[in-house]
Structure 1
Amino acid sequence: MRFFAFLFSMALSFAVATANDGPLVYQGDAGVGVGKHIVFLAGDHEYRSEEALPALARIMAKHHGFKCTVLFNIDSKTGFIEPGNSNMPHTDAIADADLLVFGLRFQNFPAEQMQPIVDYLNRGGPVVGTRTSTHAFKIPKDSPFARFDHKYSGEEMKGGFGRQILGETWVSHYGKNHVMSTRLDIAPEQAGHPILRGVKNPWVESGGYWVDPMPNSVVLANAQPLESMSPDAAPAKDKTPCPGVWTRTYSGENGATGRVFTTTYGASEDLRNDGFRRLMVNGSLWAMGLEDSISADLKTDFVGPYHPTTFGFKGFRRGVKPLDMSDWDTPIMNPENPSKD
């Protein structure tokens, strides 16, 4: 009898562990997004996409009705989130995605995880790219996916995923993190763009990137590095504005055209600014062709407690599994979890 009890206990433990290793899914039930699926890829080493993207996913699901799946870099032994480790289970969820949101840096996924991303881009699916996704992939030259590398030099995809899909690859920093914040100045000629409806005073806590987007890009806001971490600070000396938010289109291998919304910002703390958060929501809707649903008073407030960690290498919350954030009111992330070893 004890033997059967032991087997039952082991089976139950396995079932619980397996369930907690599943993808994080938020299912909306009302709004323009009903019947549509957004997949978020959270896998950067520094800017806490593992916090920012589930927070954005909750907003898109709860307020606007989307099904939102959030995928993370996972330690295969523990099931805990481990940003930057090039292991992202469940990318097969991308197969029926209506939007793919990138928060990646220097990833080199195994073939079975990378192929669903490639298939999505081949069909010209809509894309949103944040911060380090300009250099989302760092892939060896002998890989069948080498063309997605941020330094790829071949003419067929020069600059890799960042340049050819998002509009720019990694160039350089343009403003010092934790010393200079960034003001996003709306381009006057684009003031009537649907993505800018209701957007006021966007400001972000991350430092700038220097970029020169592809010629077919439409710049919505220029990034002005500031002298300090205050939104009212003076512009940083010798740093003129450069593009910080833009749109473009790309073509998949089948000839289909996909809309792209890109920003070189999106650290977890950046989302605390209503103007920037609204840009992210509006940009996601626009990418899917839902711009008619964008209004100046669109709901963009956080769903549940949001505790963003100050970004930095190795500064992620330890001991967190994706499903620890599965309820609407569970914290993102629990501040009691240590952020350093």
Structure 2
Amino acid sequence: MVANHWFSVLFLMLGIAAVSAFDSPKKTAPSKKKPLVVFVAGDHEYGGEQTLPLIAAELEKNYGVRTQVLKSFPDQNAEKNIPGLEALREADLAVFFLRWRQLPPDQLQYLDEYLNSSKPVMGFRTSTHAFNFPKGHASEAWNAFGERAFGSPPGWGKAGHTHYGHKSTTDVTVIAEAAKHPILTGVPSAFHAASWLYRVRPDYPPQDATPLLMGKSVNPDKAAIDNPVAWTWKNKANAKVFFTTLGHPEDFQQEGVQRLTINAIHWLLGKPVPKKWKGKIEINVPYRGIVK
């Protein structure tokens, strides 16, 4: 009887243990989300709404990055509406290609939140003058967005910010002191860009920025000086920055500019710059110019 009693107790305990093991959730390592890059486009002139989605698709396909592309609505000339900017709250990196927008306060709030978050920022060309509110407007301070975000001049015409004519082009060279920067991996030491050179000197980028590429105007329409066309920086919100004044759609056809862009995105995300290039991206967007 005693043996039977202890056999029954043992059987019951084994049964309870088996049920407990079955019911207990298995501990699994938390899945790490791919970083999210949010592109914000609306530039009148250079077709950023067409080039940036091609960059985004390449990141999704070959580089383990999630992307979202936000565009001015209903087209590139719509200066007062970029739907979906709340996506910036989830972004790990924001990339801007804007020109002379006049967004409403509720949309500017999402930008302000992001810029205050210390998360990295990246910009192309006309983002030096992303906003163009009239003098005295409640949002006029946003005209200096480029200075706040990227260390560029605070708007077109400010601090001598101009260019050297639509018939000019730019010879670009790697700055020797920056040649080993990860962003320049695979970027040719010299190449020619369709973008007419932007003047940002003498006051920009800031002295604590790191210029990466220097531009020399070819066939300028006025006396020209050499100017940085790409730099890194840490802005006042302590965010990592990459900015380039390149951005003509023909620039994006060049493999070197494509690598510069993909490299910069990895660097800003804190990811290793790809040692192996996945190959040239097909970007054949025509230069549009300003068409109203």
Pick the TM interval, shorter chain. Answer: 0.7 to 0.9
Question: Matched residue pairs, number?
Answer: 252
Q: State the superposition RMSD in angstroms.
A: 2.2
1:183 deviates by 1.9
Larger CA Rg, structure 1 vs 2: 2
Residue of structure 1 equivalent to 2:254: 273
2:273 counterpart (271, 293, 308)? 293
Counterpart secondary structure, 1:293: coil
Q: What percentage of residue pairs aligned between the two structures are identical?
A: 33
1:190 counterpart (165, 178, 182)? 178
| Greater mean alpha carbon deviation, residues 54-63 or residues 101-110 | 54-63
Q: Deviations over 1:159-214 (max 9, x none)?
A: x211122111234433322x222121100011110111111144321111001211
1:264 deviates by 0.6
- Tell me how far apart the structure 1 counterparts of residues 251 and 58 of structure 2 sit (CA, whole Å): 15
1:223 counterpart (182, 191, 215)? 215
Residue of structure 2 equivalent to 1:66: 65
- Tell me how far apart the structure 2 counterparts of residues 168 and 56 of structure 1 sit (CA, whole Å): 23
1:147 deviates by 2.1
- Tell me how far apart the structure 2 counterparts of residues 37 and 195 of structure 1 sit (CA, whole Å): 19
1:240 deviates by 3.6
TM-score (normalizing by structure 2): 0.80
Q: Structure 1 unaligned runs (5+)?
A: 1-32, 76-80, 150-159, 228-234, 316-341
Residue of structure 1 equivalent to 2:126: 132
Cα separation, partners in 2 of 1:83 and 1:267, compared to 1, 3 Å: farther
Question: 2:170·2:216 contact (CA, 8 Å) conserved in 1?
Answer: yes
1:241 deviates by 1.8
Residue of structure 2 equivalent to 1:314: 291
Runs of 4+ residues deviating >6 angstroms:
none
Question: 1:42·1:71 contact (CA, 8 Å) conserved in 2?
Answer: yes
Instruction: Tell me if 1:91 matches 2:90.
Output: no
Instruction: Tell me if 1:146 matches 2:175.
Output: no
Instruction: Tell me if 1:205 matches 2:194.
Output: yes
- Tell me how far apart the structure 1 counterparts of residues 69 and 185 of structure 2 sit (CA, whole Å): 26
Residue of structure 2 equivalent to 1:173: 162
- Tell me how far apart the structure 2 counterparts of residues 173 and 118 of structure 1 sit (CA, whole Å): 26
- Tell me how far apart the structure 1 counterparts of residues 51 and 206 of structure 2 sit (CA, whole Å): 26
1:314 deviates by 0.9
- Tell me how far apart the structure 2 counterparts of residues 197 and 236 of structure 1 sit (CA, whole Å): 33
TM-score (normalizing by structure 1): 0.69
Cα separation, partners in 2 of 1:196 and 1:109, compared to 1, 3 Å: same
